[in-house]
Each structure stands twice: as structure tokens, then as C-alpha cells.
Amino acid sequence: MLSLSVGLSVAFSPAPSVVSQSRVAPRATVVEMVNPVVVGVAADSGCGKSTFMRRLTSIFGGECKLLDIGRETNTLVSDMTTVICLDDYHKWDRTGRKSNPEWPNGITALHEACQDWDKMAADVLDLKAGKSVSKPIYNHITGELDPYEDVDPTPIVIFEGLHPMYDERVNKALDLTVYLDITDEVKFAWKAQRDIAERGATMEEVQKAIDGRKPDFAAYVEPQKAKADIVVQVLFSDLIDDPTGKFLKVRLITKNNLKHISPAYLMDEGASITWKPNPNKLTTSAPGVLFKSYQDEWFGQSVSVLEMDGKIDSLEELIYVESQLCNTGTKYYGELTEQMVNNKASPGSENGSGLFQTICAFKIREAFEAITA
């Protein structure tokens, strides 16, 4: 969808980076403004949203940093991108979620009653229209709702969090939607590793935290995976019995017939392919790595699936895999491998979660370029 607004410069002043250079001409200027492309990324907490945002913003280049407001913020900005965390639209602070007149027994942040949908929808629509917004901040350190911050639109605005597709006003406005689908056992393995090693939690505490979120997660967050244009699904490996989650089977599920992008695939579009790469060309940890590419159905809709099971040992050798992948959204041969190497230290680089998050980021760039062409 191409959104071009033409009018007098005095009537509208969006962020300079969104506007073509022609708007700096003085007097009776005709403004040619391409509206921001808005993207939604949904996932539960601790499921790799920040990691994905790093991979995504690194593709668009420039330094990506927290918005400079001189206090705590969740908003990340670079020349091309703004990432807004939807936790900022929590209706109550941490204390208010534990108990308030409406919810004396407490409510989780995942519950639909815990989000200010009207303000969230208004801000998404305003940013999409190229307008600056004054938006709330949820402070994850203090658990409080902080004073508002001003956010200007950039060419791409990403809304990441628990519910980007829940409210139909927002869902309809989003140009592309992504769901990071981390299955329960993998979620447990990741959370256990982080919380036990870094935060002194016990196994029982980790399980309790996951179980406590489960009903509201199933009711309000998970259903969005049927709506998403792209799903990155992370499961335990089928090749090896590994409860630590080091070996993963990851699927990149892309709806067929999307308006702005088409799915990546292996070797032959539309075909069913199972590929075990030559071990002399791709160093892997036993039991090796297996790729698949096939057509499937996802909640009644036709999708293309790319699958990677297992992990690779040397990221530079990914060029061999890249040579067999098609329609990844890269601009030149080697760009996928280059991005993976650049983000080597990020979690999941050695398995399909990193590879498919990176392809997903290229697809967001592809959508952006198609929409603003």
C-alpha cells in the first residue's frame, strides 16, 4: 500500500527523516510524504523479541539506541527505525496489577483488561499517519507508569510486545505482522537457563512463573499466531534428545499470497525438499543438520514453510546454505551470512532461530521497499 500525502508544509510537519528532501523548499511548498511502514512483532516475555530487534535494526544500519529523554525509556531509535514496546500501554503499574478495586485478586500483564487499547490504537494510527505522539512509559525497573515521552515517526515503526495483533484497529493498521512462537518446553529451557544462572531462581520458581502466566497467555497472546503474516516457530530438535534447548527445530512459516512479500524457500519453489547438507561443506555438531522446505496449512491458510533442525558450528560456512536458499530478501549473495556473522554473539545464531529471524528481518525490509517504492 502506497500512502502519499500531498499538501502544504505548514499544515503538516512530520519527522524530517520520513519526508523527502523536496519539503525543505521555502514558501507554498508542496510536501511529498511517504507515511511510515508499521510492523507488529508479538511474543511472550523472554522469547527473543529484543534479540530479534537487534537483528532487524542492524539490517537497516546506523546506530540504534534508546530514545534520549534523560530517564528510563523502552523506545529504541535509529535513523530508519523506531521500536515501541507495547508494555508501555499497561493500564496499571506493578502494584496495581497485584490488587486494585477492579481486580482485588490481581491480574497479569497478559490479560486484555490490563492494556489501554484506545491509547495504543491512537498512537499506532497517528505514527502511521506520520504524526508525532506523546505516549506512556512502563518502567520495568520500578514497575511504575512514568510520565509520557514524545516519539517522532521514522520510516519504519515497529510495535513489539504481547498484543500487537489483538486489537483489530491496530492489527488492520499494521503493514506486516510477525509472531515468535516459542513452544512451552523451549520457553522453559531458555527461562531456566537465564533465571537460574543469572537471577538465582530455582527450577520450581521458573515453572511457577511460567504456569502463572499460562491461562492468560493462551487466552490473549497465543491466538495471534493465527493472524500473523510470518511465524518463527521454535521446537525441540527431532534429531537428538536434548532438554537443554541447545538443539532446536525451527520453522519459518510465511503466508502465501501476502501483498508485499513472498516466502523464502529452498531450491525449488513450491516443491517438497529435504536436504542434509554435505558435511564436508558445512561443519555441524552431531547429529548434523537437516533442512526442509514445503507447503502446508496454518490455521486454515496456505503457507510456505522453511525448516532447520540442528545447529552449525561455523557461521562463515552458512554461505553454503545461503547458496541453496531462494527469495530470502537479500540484496546480494552473501548478505544473509554477513548479517549472521555480524550478530554472532546474539542468542540463537548457531540454529534456525537466528537464521530465520534474520530472513524475517530481510522480509520486513522487502515489505518496506515494496510499500514505499
Ligand X SMILES: O=C(CO)[C@H](O)[C@H](O)COP(=O)(O)O
Where does this chain bind ligand ATP (CB under 6 A)? Answer: 43, 45-51, 190, 193-194, 347-348, 353-354
State the nearest-atom distance from the C-beta of 213 to ligand X, in Å: 7
Query: Which of 351, 246, 355 is CA-nearest to residue 309?
Result: 351
Give the one entry of ligand X, ligand ATP, none that residue 47 binds, where binding means its C-beta sits below a cut-off of 5 to 8 angstroms depending on kind.
ligand ATP
Binding mask 31-70 for ligand X (x = CB under 6 A): --------------x-------------------------
Please tell me whether residue 120 binds ligand X under the rule CB under 6 A: no
Give the one entry of ligand X, ligand ATP, none that residue 143 binds, where binding means its C-beta sits below a cut-off of 5 to 8 angstroms depending on kind.
ligand X
- CB closer to ligand ATP, 74 vs 154: 74
Please tell me whether residue 88 binds ligand X under the rule CB under 6 A: no
Please tell me whether residue 94 binds ligand X under the rule CB under 6 A: yes
Query: Which of 355, 362, 305, 356 is CA-nearest to residue 329?
Result: 362
Give the one entry of ligand ATP, ligand X, none that residue 49 binds, where binding means its C-beta sits below a cut-off of 5 to 8 angstroms depending on kind.
ligand ATP
Q: Which residues neighbour 223 within 8 Å (Cβ) at sequence distance 6 or greater? A: none
Binding mask 178-207 for ligand X (x = CB under 6 A): ------------------------------
Please tell me whether residue 87 binds ligand X under the rule CB under 6 A: yes
Q: Figure out which of the listed residues 13, 100, 126, 143 binds ligand X, where binding follows CB under 6 A.
A: 143
Q: Which residues of 162-196 are buried (b: 16+ CB within 10 A; e: fewer)?
A: bbbbbbeebbebbbbbbbbbbeeebbbbbbbeebe
Give the one entry of ligand ATP, ligand X, none that residue 347 binds, where binding means its C-beta sits below a cut-off of 5 to 8 angstroms depending on kind.
ligand ATP
Instruction: Report CA torsion sign: 116, 118, 124, 127.
Output: negative
Alpha-carbon distance of 326 to 329, in angstroms, equals: 8
Beta strands in 241-341 (DSSP E): 248-255, 265-266, 273-275, 290-298, 301-309, 325-326
Give the one entry of ligand X, ligand ATP, none that residue 162 binds, where binding means its C-beta sits below a cut-off of 5 to 8 angstroms depending on kind.
ligand X
Query: For residue 350, which phi and psi values (nearest 5 degrees)?
Result: -85, -5
Alpha-carbon distance of 161 to 238, in angstroms, equals: 29
The footprint of ligand X on residues 155-174 (CB under 6 A) is 162
Give the one entry of ligand X, ligand ATP, none that residue 287 binds, where binding means its C-beta sits below a cut-off of 5 to 8 angstroms depending on kind.
none
- CB closer to ligand ATP, 18 vs 250: 250
- CB closer to ligand X, 22 vs 95: 95
Please tell me whether residue 228 binds ligand X under the rule CB under 6 A: no
Beta strands in 94-204 (DSSP E): 133-138, 145-151, 156-161, 176-182
Instruction: Report CA torsion sign: 339, 344, 346, 352.
Output: positive
Please tell me whether residue 98 binds ligand X under the rule CB under 6 A: no
Say if strands 145-151 and 133-138 run parallel, antiparallel, or are unpaired: antiparallel
Size of the site for ligand X (CB under 6 A): 7
Q: Which residues neighbour 250 within 8 Å (Cβ) at sequence distance 6 or greater? A: 232, 233, 234, 235, 307, 308, 309, 351, 352, 353, 355, 356
Give the one entry of ligand ATP, ligand X, none that residue 312 binds, where binding means its C-beta sits below a cut-off of 5 to 8 angstroms depending on kind.
none
Please tell me whether residue 140 binds ligand X under the rule CB under 6 A: yes
Alpha-carbon distance of 50 to 187, in angstroms, equals: 15
How is residue 82 written as a grid cell? Answer: 523506531
Give the one entry of ligand X, ligand ATP, none that residue 153 binds, where binding means its C-beta sits below a cut-off of 5 to 8 angstroms depending on kind.
none
- List interacting residues with ligand X (CB under 6 A): 45, 87, 94, 109, 140, 143, 162
